[in-house]
Structures are given as structure tokens and as C-alpha cells.
């Protein structure tokens, strides 16, 4: 299986994120890449190759021009000001019904960043762009006839919407890939197995009849992203019926997780997509620091095996997963089962 990876993604490092009024370490660190790479290397899963050259068109096909311009220039604007603290952080957020596009830098921060988990440092834009390029390149490989491709993306993407960023996500990598695939007029299913609901991905494709989105995740009544991921969110307009959320209770184990995945996959079969994109987060893991689920490495292996059962060309896009000692083994188990090795 081809593995798409860019070294540029390492350059983004959160100095901290703000949690309950305090600066805390972020779980989303470049060491996640090494944890995954060393497991894939040791198993010789496939060639690890850099992404193709990508201009901004595939990003603009998903994201609002104002947001992309903000992300690309925020750090330079910040550094040119009188800031004494490194990353760009929002402080002021638009109340409901007051989402008027601001001209002022301070207001733009809160307009585009919906929480305090997306600090923008000196290399955030380049890393986010490289991450999107990995996913987009994976889509190109599928279009060229590859059956299974893994895009080792970081920062992750599924909490980024067309005009908002949050939850460690700046650009929606899976959405960039799905758009690239759907340009050919084909139907796509995005299957999101990260323990968090992919509120950004859902928002991007909510009214799109050609891109189905299904997610299993911790209950948003208690867990980030809190404001989306409920079972009654089924899509709208021409996209009605192409969105499916399965919130699962605290303590969800392999059996429950796989049962939920099975019901998502039955819906994927019914939708009959040409391509499948997996938003592959491994933070449902039993030891994950952000998770309340109890999925094991064998659970992820079985998830890979079931997705293989769709018998569709599949792009796996890396999302969350923060337990460094076992992250590589979890990714590897999933990918090996997916390709049937
Ligand atoms: C891509 C992805 O997995 N994003 C996850 C964003 C979830 N952020 C919520 C993290 C909450 C951290 N809680 C800290 C507890 C400190 N004791
Ligand atoms: Zn997650």
C-alpha cells in the first residue's frame, strides 16, 4: 500500500492549548508521526512517498477564501504586531446570528477559530497545507487505479469546516480528497471512525447528494465537538439522507464499536459509492488520553477487515489518536487488515 507522507508536517507544534482557562500541553504533537512511521517501517507495509506538488485550487474547492487567506497570513500578521506570546489565539467569538465577516485581525481570529485548540504558529500553514497535499495525493493515486492508499496526515482535518477551524484541525484533509474524487462525477462515502464526530466534514457535505458522510463517535452531549454529531442530523436539501451519525456511550468496547461500524457500512453499501475515504482516528483506543471508549488493537484490525469487505478503492486519511506507545500498532493493524495482508 502506498503511504503518502510529508516531512513538512513536523514543523507545526502547539506550544500549548488553552483548556479551562489554563495553558496545557496539546496531545496533537509531531511525535505522533514517528510513532506511526516506525510501525509502518518495521512492517514494510509499503513505500513511503512525498505528496505531489499541489497548488491551492484543491484547498479552495473545499474552504472559504477568507479562511485560507487568514490561515496563510495569521502568523506573519501576529509577529508584525506587538504580541509577546507566540501562537495566534482567538479571544472573541461571534454570537449566534452575528456571523458578519470581520476586517480586523483580532475579530478574524474568533471568526475562523471556533475553539482554543487551533493555535497558529510560525509553521502551521505550511504543515496544514502539506497535510492536505498528502490526502489530495492519495486521491490522485486512487484515480490512477490504486486500490488502497494511506495518507499520513498531520495536523488532522475532520473538525475543520469550510470557514472554520477547531479541535487541532486547520484544513479538512479528507474533504479535500473527497472533492478531488467527486470531481469525476462519482459518489463518495466518507466513513469516520475517530472517537470524535467530524463536525467539519459533516458541515462541508451536508447538502451534497454525492458525498455520503457517516460517523461513529462519543456522544456529543458529553464530548467534543459538543454542538454536532447527533443522530437526528441526516443531511439537508438534496443531501437529505446522506449524513449518518451514530453516537456511542462511554465505555464502548470492540463489540459495540464494530456493531456500529457494521450498520454504517450497510448504509455505505446501499449508497453504492465508487470511492471510500476513511477518516481514520485511533483515539477510540482503550488507553487514549482523550477517549472514553475501550477499543483495542484487535478492534481496529477487525474494523479494517470490515471496511475491506466493501470492496471499493479506499483512501485512509489519518485523523486523531494520541496514545503514542500503541498508536503505530493500531494504525498498522487497521491497514494490514484493510489490504488483506
Ligand atoms: C482530531 C481530533 O481528534 N481532535 C480532537 C479534539 C478534541 N479536543 C478535546 C480535548 C480535551 C482534552 N481534555 C484535557 C483534559 C486534561 N485533563
Ligand atoms: Zn478525535
**Run means of pLDDT, 10 residues per run, the chain, 341 residues:** 98 89 92 98 96 98 98 96 85 94 97 97 97 99 98 99 98 98 89 99 98 98 98 98 98 98 98 98 97 97 98 98 98 98 88
Phi-psi group of 71: left, alpha or beta (phi > 0 → left; psi -120 to 50 → alpha; rest → beta): alpha
pLDDT at residue 85, as a whole number: 79
Q: List ligand 1's pocket residues with C-beta within 6 A.
A: 19, 117, 156, 159, 167-169, 194, 196, 224, 281, 283, 290, 319-320
Residues by chain with Cβ below 5 Å of ion ligand 2: 194, 196, 281, 283, 320
pLDDT at 184: 65
Q: Is 217 a catalytic residue?
A: no
Nearest in space to 108 (alpha carbons), one of 154, 62, 157, 75: 75
pLDDT score of 86: 83
- Give, for ligand 1, the residue of 12, 167, 198, 284 to mutate: max count of ligand atoms closer than 8 Å to Cβ: 167
The per-residue pLDDT for 183 is 74
Kindly report whether the peptide bond that precedes residue 229 is cis, defined as omega within 30 degrees of 0. Answer: no
Amino acid at each position: 500500500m502506498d503511504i503518502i507522507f510529508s516531512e513538512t508536517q513536523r514543523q507545526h507544534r502547539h506550544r500549548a492549548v488553552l483548556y479551562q482557562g489554563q495553558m496545557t500541553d496539546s496531545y496533537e504533537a509531531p511525535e505522533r508521526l514517528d510513532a506511526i512511521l516506525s510501525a509502518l517501517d518495521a512492517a514494510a507495509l509499503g513505500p513511503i512517498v512525498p505528496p505531489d506538488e499541489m497548488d491551492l485550487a484543491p484547498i479552495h474547492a473545499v474552504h472559504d477564501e477568507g479562511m485560507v487567506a487568514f490561515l496563510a497570513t495569521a502568523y506573519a500578521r501576529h509577529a508584525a504586531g506587538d504580541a509577546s506570546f507566540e501562537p495566534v489565539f482567538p479571544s472573541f467569538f461571534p454570537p449566534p446570528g452575528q456571523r458578519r465577516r470581520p476586517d480586523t485581525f483580532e475579530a478574524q481570529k474568533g471568526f475562523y477559530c471556533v475553539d482554543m485548540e487551533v493555535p497558529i504558529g510560525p509553521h502551521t500553514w505550511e504543515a496544514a497545507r502539506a497535510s492536505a497535499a498528502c490526502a489530495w495525493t492519495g486521491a490522485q493515486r486512487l484515480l490512477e487505479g490504486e486500490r488502497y492508499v494511506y495518507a499520513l496526515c498531520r495536523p488532522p482535518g475532520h473538525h475543520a469546516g469550510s470557514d472554520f477551524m477547531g479541535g487541532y484541525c486547520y484544513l479538512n484533509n479528507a474533504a479535500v480528497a473527497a472533492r478531488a474524487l467527486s470531481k469525476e462525477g462519482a459518489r463518495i462515502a466518507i466513513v469516520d471512525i475517530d472517537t470524535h464526530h467530524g463536525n467539519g466534514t459533516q458541515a462541508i457535505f451536508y447538502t451534497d447528494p454525492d458525498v455520503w458522510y457517516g460517523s461513529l463517535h462519543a456522544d456529543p452531549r458529553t464530548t467534543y465537538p459538543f454542538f454536532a454529531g447527533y443522530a437526528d442530523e441526516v443531511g439537508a436539501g438534496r443531501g437529505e439522507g446522506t449524513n449518518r451519525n451514530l453516537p456511542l456511550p462511554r465505555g464502548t468496547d470492540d463489540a459495540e464499536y464494530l456493531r456500529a461500524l457494521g450498520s454504517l457500512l450497510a448504509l455505505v453499501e446501499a449508497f453504492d459509492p465508487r470511492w471510500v475515504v476513511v477518516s481514520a482516528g485511533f483515539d477510540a483506543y482503550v488507553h487514549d488520553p482523550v477517549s472514553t471508549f475501550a477499543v483495542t488493537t484487535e478492534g481496529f484490525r477487525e474494523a479494517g477487515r470490515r471496511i475491506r469487505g466493501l470492496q471499493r478503492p479506499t483512501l485512509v486519511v489519518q485523523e486523531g489518536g494520541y496514545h503514542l506507545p500503541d498508536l503505530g500498532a493500531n494504525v498498522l493493524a487497521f491497514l494490514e487488515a484493510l489490504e488483506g495482508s
